[in-house]
Structure 1
Amino acid sequence: MDIETNIDTSFLTRRRERQIKFERSVLRELSLAILKKSVQNYFAGLLTNSGLLFDQVIEEGCYDVALEVYLLGSSYSRLGYYGKPIEEVKASSLEERRNFSKALQDFIAYWGAKLDEQNEERLESQCDAFVDHWFMEGFVKGKMKYKMRLH
């Protein structure tokens, strides 16, 4: 019985090491400039309580969400590599993507974005589009890695 535990632990350890190696290889494709440009494209003009355009805290929070969703997309890319259509992959990941979008929306609202009802709806659609964009980026890059067998 003790041997089975070691085998499972060994398997899980190797699996996690492979996952980390794959994530690192996919993340090499990103740069801070790309993330910054994306945040500015999706959230330009959103004002915070301080009156400044998108202060550093909110921007860094967007980077965090973008990276997490990018990695999520890259993890789902294996399904795409093996032939599952993107529509099915997106349907499989819908709940996770919604959670990231809602978390980003709540984060921005918490850190002081001045939002009336109309801007709140706009923020929701911006967050959804931002999350979808980074999911697809990760999905495409991950699928490329699988095709090239560089993971």
Structure 2
Amino acid sequence: MLGSTTAAVQELQDATDLIDELAARRLGINRTDLRCLSRLSARGPQTASELAVAAGLTGGAMTTAVDRMERAGLVRRVRDTTDRRRVLVHLTDEAERLSAEIWGPIVADAHTELAGFTLAELGVIERFLSVALANQRRHAARLRTDLGT
């Protein structure tokens, strides 16, 4: 059972990777920029520094990525209204529209599929995903250390 479960996770990761590749192509951006858009979508507007940490980029790489995404019409820089020294990176309406077009049907199907599980089963799924996420984050940190980044 353990082997078939880990194989299923690998298949899911590969399918997710393919969706990400196709979405990046559809948006006309690279995978790093897509990761940044994902973080903005999940967490809302952030400073470039906050976004760099979330996306695992250096400050210089983040500036280049924000410049690219801004030229593509997917993000905009907005001065923070509470602290005028801060500049926040926001998704544009176009980015929101394209995200809904690409991922909306996936999310709708997932909701339909998850509705077929009991609350107890959903609890087990959520627990598994939490443990798997912690594992991925731990090993990403290990690999970053190994690479010296």
Q: TM-score, normalised by structure 1?
A: 0.34
Normalised to the residue count of structure 2, the TM-score between the two structures is 0.34
Larger strand percent: 2
Indicate the structure with greater helix content.
1
